[in-house]
Amino acid sequence: MLNFTVGPVMSSESVREIGGEQTPYFRNDEFSKVMFENEELMKEFVYASDDSRVVFITGSGTAAMEATVMNVLGEKDKVLIVNGGGFGQRFVDLCNLHNISNEEIKLDFGQNITHEILDEYSGKEITAFLVNICETSSCVYYDLELISKFCRENNIFLIVDAISSFLANPLNMEEQNIDVVITGSQKALACPPGISVIVLGPNALKRVENNQCKSMYFDLKDMLKNGERGQTPFTPAVTILLQINQRLKEIKKQGGVESEIKRISSLANDFRMKIEDLPLEIKCNCLGNSVTGVYCINSDANEIVNTLKFDYNIWVNPNGGEVGNKMFRVGHIGDLTLKDNDKLIDAFKELEKRGILK
């Protein structure tokens, strides 16, 4: 198969090989060493300060989103949430579920955040800001610099869900005053789903320390304490953590986070350039590097998604909701190459000949 969805994505040969091994026992120094390496490399790749910490939760990305809301936010907070799609809505739902007072910035599908929109909330006693920096459902990549500046000026605690954009778009925790970064194993980390990651800056660690978390499994204090010896409170997805270790070390060897971002960005640009001659359209002018939302001018998006899958074994991401029959998404994360882009473009050209893409 050739997988252009936004996750789970294609994994490299070396990551897949680890998946075929027996799962090793983990309460030992060998596994602790792996976890310490994972923590260090994660911190390096998001430019976290030395006194930051990282926790690895066995659960999908939403587990890290929920654990963050439960451990870092509290009853004294008033949270501002950017809601421009399915993942923004998830943060709203999580805050409501956990009784965290919140206001949402409700954006239209495909709309970016602006100076004017943020200005309305200046001086409104907002204490924390939640944003899915790439709203994967609409493919919008919000203006992180703008958000970072707004939070710095208003002394607001900033939480960034970078699940789909970590390793695809740059992010600098120290310089951009980001207090929490969330990511997951099945997006640009290109491992199987099952592990989500939270990087906590010094202010976030203080918040966790002073918070009473009413959950055993999602208690970040417990995870941080165990992490001091390279361990987790409960049995983690050991194999995926080993795969993450392999992947992080490979990225480091190939030039680090900047060169990985460059690689993904050139795949995205190549794809966007090559569809220019096809009856397909890119409407969003604020895309990140992870994913492209593609509109069909005269054809049915679902028919294209399904024909690619059944006739060519190429998988792209269908879209839900109102745009479902007009738009599909093409991911640029995972073990993909420029040659793979060409295979997808060739398939589009055949669909055009067959009268399916028109």
Ligand X SMILES: *Cc1c(COP(=O)(O)O)cnc(C)c1O
Does residue 94 contact residue 72 with C-beta atoms inside 8 Å?
no
Rounded-to-integer distance, Cα 126 and Cα 83, Å: 16
Q: Does 110 bind ligand X (CB under 6 A)?
A: no
Rounded-to-integer distance, Cα 137 and Cα 142, Å: 13
Contact window for ligand X (CB under 6 A) among 60-68, 204-212, 279-287, 333-341: 60-68
Going by their DSSP bridges, the two strands 102-106 and 53-58 should be labelled as: unpaired
Q: Does 4 bind ligand X (CB under 6 A)?
A: no
Among 82, 100, 163, 204, binds ligand X (CB under 6 A): 163
Q: Does 317 bind ligand X (CB under 6 A)?
A: no
- Rounded to a whole number of angstroms, the minimum distance from the CB of residue 209 to ligand X is 26
Residue in 61, 118, 111, 121 with CA at minimum distance from that of residue 87 = 61
Rounded-to-integer distance, Cα 185 and Cα 320, Å: 23
Q: Is 217 helix (H, G, I), strand (E, B) or coil?
A: coil
Q: Which is nearer to ligand X, 134 or 305 (CB)?
A: 134
Q: Which is nearer to ligand X, 194 or 230 (CB)?
A: 194
Residue nearest to ligand X (CB): 61
Q: Which is nearer to ligand X, 194 or 201 (CB)?
A: 194
- Rounded to a whole number of angstroms, the minimum distance from the CB of residue 293 to ligand X is 13
Rounded-to-integer distance, Cα 185 and Cα 223, Å: 18
Q: Which is nearer to ligand X, 87 or 271 (CB)?
A: 87
Q: Does 7 bind ligand X (CB under 6 A)?
A: yes
Q: Does 62 bind ligand X (CB under 6 A)?
A: yes
255-314: contacts with ligand X (CB under 6 A): none
Residue position matching structure tokens 């060998």: 30
- Rounded to a whole number of angstroms, the minimum distance from the CB of residue 131 to ligand X is 10
Q: Which two tokens stand for residue 93?
A: 């739902």
Q: Between vectors from CA 113 to CA 7 and to CA 273, what angle results, nearest 5°?
A: 55
Contact window for ligand X (CB under 6 A) among 76-84, 131-139, 250-258, 264-272: 131-139
Q: Which is nearer to ligand X, 163 or 356 (CB)?
A: 163
- Per-residue contact track with ligand X, 198 to 217, x per CB under 6 A? --------------------
Q: Which is nearer to ligand X, 61 or 293 (CB)?
A: 61
Residue in 173, 183, 199 with CA at minimum distance from that of residue 63 = 183
Q: Which is nearer to ligand X, 237 or 356 (CB)?
A: 237
Residue in 120, 94, 95, 98 with CA at minimum distance from that of residue 107 = 120
Q: Does 68 bind ligand X (CB under 6 A)?
A: no
Rounded-to-integer distance, Cα 173 and Cα 52, Å: 10
Q: Does 161 bind ligand X (CB under 6 A)?
A: yes
Bridge-partner residues for 58, per DSSP? 195
- Rounded to a whole number of angstroms, the minimum distance from the CB of residue 12 to ligand X is 20
- Rounded to a whole number of angstroms, the minimum distance from the CB of residue 336 to ligand X is 17
Q: Does 164 bind ligand X (CB under 6 A)?
A: yes
Q: Does 136 bind ligand X (CB under 6 A)?
A: yes
Rounded-to-integer distance, Cα 71 and Cα 66, Å: 9
Q: Does 89 bind ligand X (CB under 6 A)?
A: no
Among 3, 4, 61, 264, binds ligand X (CB under 6 A): 61
Q: Which two tokens stand for residue 238?
A: 């050991």
Question: Which letter does DSSP use for residue 321 in this model?
Answer: G
Using CA atoms, how far residue 91 sits from 72, 175, 258, 336, 347, in Å, is 13, 25, 29, 30, 37
Q: Does 74 bind ligand X (CB under 6 A)?
A: no
Residue 55 main-chain phi, psi, to 5 deg: -120, 145
Binding region for ligand X (CB under 6 A): 7, 60-62, 87, 132, 134, 136, 161, 163-164, 184, 187
